[in-house]
Amino acid sequence: MGKTLYQKLYDSHIVLEAQGELPIIYIDRHLMHEVTSPQAFDGLTQNNRKVRHSERTWATMDHNVSTQSSDINACNEMGKIQMQTLKANCEKFGVPLFGLGHQWQGIIHTIGPEIGATIPGVTLVCGDSHTATHGAFGALAFGVGTSEVEHVLATQTIKQARLKNLKIEVTGKLQKGVSAKDVILAIAAKLGTAGGTGYAAEFCGQVFKDMSMEGRMTVCNMAIEVGAKVGMVAPDQTTFDYVKGRPYAPSGKDWDEAMEYWKTLYSDEDAVWDKVVTIDGSSIEPQVTWGTNPGQGGSVNQPIPAPDDFSDPVEKLSCEKALKYQNLTPHTSLTDVKVDEVFIGSCTNGRIEDLRAAAEVLKGKHIASNIERAMAVPGSQQVKAQAEKEGLDKIFIEAGFEWRLPGCSMCLAMNDDKLPPGKRCASTSNRNFEGRQGRDSRTHLVSPAMAAAAAVYGHFVDVRTIL
Amino acid sequence: MQEFKQHTGIAVPLNAANVDTDQIIPKQFLKAVSKIGFGKHAFNDWRYLDEEGTRENPDFVLNFPRYKGASILLARENFGNGSSREHAPWALADYGFRAIIAPSFADIFYNNSLNNGLLLVKLTEDEVDQIFKVVEANEGQTVTVDLENLEVRVNDLRFKFELDEFRRYCIMNGLDNIGLTLQHEDAIIAYESKKYKWL
Dump pLDDT digits (tens) for B62-117: 999 999 999 999 999 999 999 999 999 999 999 999 999 999 999 999 999 999 99
Angle at A11 between CA A7 and CA A16, to 5 degrees: 145
Question: Could you tell me if B2 lies within 8 Å of chain A, comparing CB atoms?
Answer: no
Q: Please state the separation of Cα A396 from the chain's center in Å.
A: 22
The Cα–Cα gap between A203 and A193 comes to: 17
Where does A217-331 show beta strands of DSSP type E?
230-232, 275-280, 287-289, 297-299
Please, how many CA atoms are within 13 Å of residue A41, restricted to the half-sphere of its CB? 23
Listed residue (A277, A278, A265, A208) closest to A6, CA to CA:
A265
Per-10-residue mean pLDDT of chain A, 467 residues long, equals 97 95 96 97 96 98 97 94 97 98 97 98 98 98 98 98 98 98 98 97 98 98 98 98 98 98 98 98 98 98 97 92 98 97 98 98 98 98 98 98 98 97 98 97 98 98 96
Question: If you average pLDDT over residues B40-54, what whole number do you get?
Answer: 94
Residues of A in contact with B163 (CB under 8 A): none
Looking at residue A207, its pLDDT comes to 98
In whole angstroms, what is the distance from residue A460 CA to residue A443 CA? 13
* Helix, coil or strand: residue A366: coil
Amino acid at B194: K
**CA B142, CA B131: separation in Å to the nearest integer?**
10
Percent of chain B with pLDDT over 70: 100
Question: In this structure, are residues A467 and A342 in contact, taking their beta carbons and an 8 Å threshold?
Answer: no
Q: Does residue A108 sit in helix, strand or coil?
A: helix
Do residues A431 and B82 make contact, with C-beta atoms less than 8 angstroms apart?
A: yes
Residue of B nearest to A251 (CA): B198
- b (16+ CB within 10 A) / e for A219-245: bbbbbbbbbbbbbbbbbbebbbebbee
Tell me, yes or no, if A80 comes closer than 8 A to chain B by beta carbon.
no
CB A163 within 8 A of CB A227: no
- Model confidence pLDDT, tens digit, residues B159-199: 999 999 999 999 999 998 899 999 999 999 999 999 999 99
Among A10, A65, A314, A411, most B C-beta atoms within 10 A, so best to mutate, is A314
A236 to chain B, any CB pair closer than 8 A? The answer is no
Spatial CA neighbour of B31 closest among A412, A82, A83: A82
- Give dist(CA B25, CA B91) in Å, integer: 7
Between strands A297-299 and B72-74, the pairing is unpaired
- Share in percent of chain A as helix, strand, coil (round to 5): 40, 15, 45
Query: Between residues 103 and 132 of chain B, which touch chain A (CB distance below 8 Å)?
Result: 104, 106-108, 111-112, 115-116
Residue B52, min C-alpha distance to chain A (Å): 12
Distance CA A52, CA A55 (A): 9
pLDDT number for residue A276: 98
Distance, CA of A134 to CA of A230 (rounded, Å)? 9
Decide: A148 and A234 in contact? Cβ < 8 Å. Answer: no
Alpha carbon distance A197, A372 (integer Å): 38
pLDDT at residue B137 above 90? yes
Asked if A237 is an interface residue toward chain B (Cβ–Cβ < 8 A), one would say no
Q: How far apart are CA A213 and CA A190, in angstroms?
A: 24
pLDDT of A268: 98
Give the pLDDT of residue B176: 82
Dist. CA A30–CA A105, nearest whole Å: 16
Q: Look at residue A72 in the predicted model and tell me its pLDDT.
A: 95
- Is 90 exceeded by the pLDDT of residue B1? no
Say how far apart CA A201 and CA A164 lie, in whole Å.
9
Single-letter code of the amino acid located at A243: V
Res. B2: pLDDT tops 90: no
Distance of CA B47 to the CA centre of its chain: 18
| C-alpha closest to that of A226 among A194, A258, A254 | A194
Q: Minimal Cα–Cα distance from B59 to chain A, Å?
A: 14
Using a CB-CB cut-off of 8 Å, the residues of chain A touching B181 are 24, 151, 154-155, 157, 159
Q: Which residues of B touch A227 (CB under 8 A)?
A: 78, 81, 106-107
**Which candidate in A148, A166, A315, A417 is best for mutational testing of the B interface (most B CBs within 10 A)?**
A148
User: 10 Å Cβ neighbour count for B133?
Assistant: 12
Torsion B103-B108-B110-B113 (CA) sign: negative
Amino acid letter, residue A85? T
The average pLDDT across B34-51 equals: 95
* Residue A413 zone, left/alpha/beta (φ > 0; ψ -120 to 50; rest): left
DSSP string over A161-183: PPPEEEEEEEES-PPTT--HHHH
Strands (E), chain B: 6-13, 72-74, 99-102, 119-122, 142-146, 151-154, 157-160
Rounded CA separation A85/A71 (Å) = 16
Q: What is the Cα gyration radius of chain A?
A: 21
CB-count exposure of residue A113 (10 Å: 0-12, 13-18, 19+): buried
Mean pLDDT in residue range B14-18 = 95
Whether the pLDDT of residue B148 is over 90: the answer is yes
Q: Are A180 and A216 in contact (CB under 8 A)?
A: yes
Q: What is the pLDDT of residue B140?
A: 95
Q: How far apart (Å, rounded) are the C-alpha atoms in residues A217 and A134?
A: 7
Nearest to A199 by CA among A241, A246, A177, A166: A166
Pairing of strands A123-126, A29-32: parallel
- Say whether residue B164 is in contact with chain A using an 8 A CB cutoff: yes
Distance separating alpha carbons of residues A62 and A51, to the nearest angstrom: 22
- Picking from B51, B173, B26, the residue whose alpha carbon sits closest to that of residue A435 is B26
Interface A-B, measured as beta-carbon pairs within 8 A, has a size of 181
List for chain B the helix, strand, coil content (%; round to 5): 40, 20, 45
Between CA A446 and CA A424 the distance in angstroms is 13
